[in-house]
Structure 1
Amino acid sequence: MKKEDFIKDLIGFIDQSPVSYYAVNNAVDFLEENGYEELREADSWELEDMGKYYVKRDDTALIAFNLRSDLVKGFDLIGSHTESPTFKLKSNAEIADSGYLKLNVEAYGGMIYSTWLDRTLSLAGKVIYKEDGEIKTDLVNIDRDLLTIPNAAIHMNRNVNKDFAYNPQNHLYPIVKTIKDGAEADGFVQRLLGDYLSIDSKDIIDFDLSLYDRQKGSIISDSIYQVGRIDNLASVHASLKAFVGTFSVKTNVLILNDNEEIGSMTRTGADGTFLSDVLKRICLSLDKPLEDYYRAIENSFLISADGAHAIHPNFKEFSDPTNIVNMNEGLVVKIAANGAYSTSIETKARIINIAKDLGLNLQFFHNRNDKVGGSTIGPITASRLGIRSIDVGEAILAMHSIRESAGVDDHLDAYQIYKRFYEED
């Protein structure tokens, strides 16, 4: 596989996945193209050895598995998350203000506010509506230049490059257009969605819409790629591609959780019941006793795949002095004494061995002692289910910016390690 083609495929996947709904939808398309059968949580499951299955929850989370009937051997799992920091539309979002139509939004996740300003934006998400007496749902992506969040001119805000802080309540409303009359604002979003779906806007019951950047991804000087949502759609892409069609003596599992950026405490997040429900139902559908489930968990291994921090050449003081992470120097193992990452000495050994067998380099990340880092789905899943886990990721610059940067080589390395992980007995 040529790394340039692999990166172009990744960028295409991200460009076509402006929000988590589309990330899951595109993953489903790829799974079904490769022979995976959908299971529904409300139905009874009839599973077969060597069967290929997936199940969605609320269209923003997905679990797929390549089944082996000897469950006691355990599950090999790779988990990542489908969503990224953004702005979500509030209810009654339209505001007529000073001759403009703007929209009321709230921040989702810990974003770098300034990167969202002076860019061309649009909206994507999910809509629920009534048609012919039935409640229906559809995904929407307003595929046109629709919104922008303008800065104030430096002549009016001389501190913008000094100690100015954007107030999300006052400064970050996206502007749609100029208007002559406040009445033009009334029902704008409903009409926009009605036109998109070719339905009467009055039939729309509710919607979940988020902002996204209209600029497509790009490759910079052959070694760096730049696009939004690398954290964490790069992990989704690499694990999805590695997972499809892989069988070993264990049951391989792909996990795509939602809501990691806001703590995972949701129905679709890692702190919910989705994964444990699926794994238990696999055992039940094969008429295995509950004891076999717990034996399987003890023999299981989770890779929590999420972005890692590369050293920044302009901010070297933010990195730990003896654990420097460089872009295009290998997959990163993330370690934290405070438990923010799930890596342990036992779980490191397996990934180190895989990398050595493939002739690939690994790097090791620790936060500086005076920096508070983030966390992942790894510690949550490990503590809830008792699964051994390791946190790894690709080295990224500008994490949580509207556009992030990562290494071309690193993405292919991640895929190769994930694929070997799924294939080995």
Structure 2
Amino acid sequence: MFSDNREQLSRSSTFKLLLYFLACIGMIYTVFVHQVYLSSDTFHRKQLDRELSQETEIFTALAGIGNIDAIRTLIAEKQSIASPFTYHIQPISTQTASLSYPAALTGDQPYFELSDLKSGSSLLLDDDTILRIEINRDLLQKYREDLAPMMISGVALPVIVMIAGAVWFAVNIIQKLQRVNFAMNRVLCGEKNVKLAVSRNDDEFDILSIHLNFMIEQIEKKEASLKALTVGVAHDLRTPMARMKLRIESLLALTSNNQQQQELEACHDDLELLLGMFNGLLEIANLNSGKQLISKQRVDLTTVAQDAVDFLQPLAEEKQQQLILRQDAAHQLDGEPSLLFRAVINLIENAIKYTPEEGRIVVVIDAFGIVVIDNGEGISDLDKLQVCEPMYRADKSRSQSGSGLGLSLVDAVMKRHGGELVLRDNSPGLRARLYFN
């Protein structure tokens, strides 16, 4: 399930668009958090600088009255309470040349100099020593170390939540679209009465489902109307055509003119072909609708195939073809022998028709049913999807005789027997299998 969802997400344009959008938002948010981090660090540093200035003013006041002992006592107190500053009393000789201090104190008022630095301040205590007040670097570093994880989590957590939300949103959309696609695939495969579920949310997917349900319903109505029209026309035309056939037969018996007799025979043959087509259409329609009742009995497929091969053997010999029957396994089932015989006859007859002279046709009976194998022209993948439709001809040039009803009848017979007609390539040729469940 996880691998299927991952594959669907990788193909989803909705998920990709969401990721691009989140990437842009994430970059903007990262820059914003980084600026917050820098601003917070700068604010903290300025706050320490202000506190440093206040601290220095206190010591400056004490140094101004010459109370060095009070300075030392105050330093000890501040160090005991974890002050944010460090205090160093150093000889003047240890200071760098960048710092300037007066050589001596004059009068009763001590002379001192305060140098404000980013890292600390220096205060002259007497002729030999100075007080160095600095910001506690460990405290500053600890603040930065504590702030960094907060900033990182402030970026990572929203990004994770947004990605999870994008995945959930994309999966939800994909699942809804999958239900629509699955239902439409069922319609494309010929299933009837397909309905898409409509929830109470009344959102855009529910509106889409309502429209698709209406479209499917209209298509089924049009298809049923067209089939009814076709069957009705075939049924209505069959009677007058049968009468015309009888009349032509009567005229053939009465006429003695050879030319007229030939013309009447040609008309008779054409009417025979038309009647066969109409009868085939009616039979297929009755089989698919279940109106034609069939009487099932125990049937041996080997016997059916043997009768079909014996019946068509002369036709194969005319084209110098090898028509071979092979039994790999016995197969018996409950079915209508005459319908199964006609289905096998149609498959073998098609194989003979579309296999070149001196070709080879093998009829195999196995545990799954019957398969007719030839090395003829075969059927393209596109035609395989439509070749079982009535009146469809894979031979676009119509160079071969036929009505396009043979495989339609085979498909209808197999459906009534709970089986399936399966067409596969033989490279070259075709493998047409009557597969019984």
TM-score (normalised: structure 1): 0.16
Structure number with greater CO (CA < 8 Å, separation at least 6) is 1
TM-score, normalised by the number of residues in structure 2: 0.16
Instruction: Tell me which protein shows more helix as a share of its residues.
Output: 2
Which protein is richer in strand relative to its size? 1
Larger Rg: 2
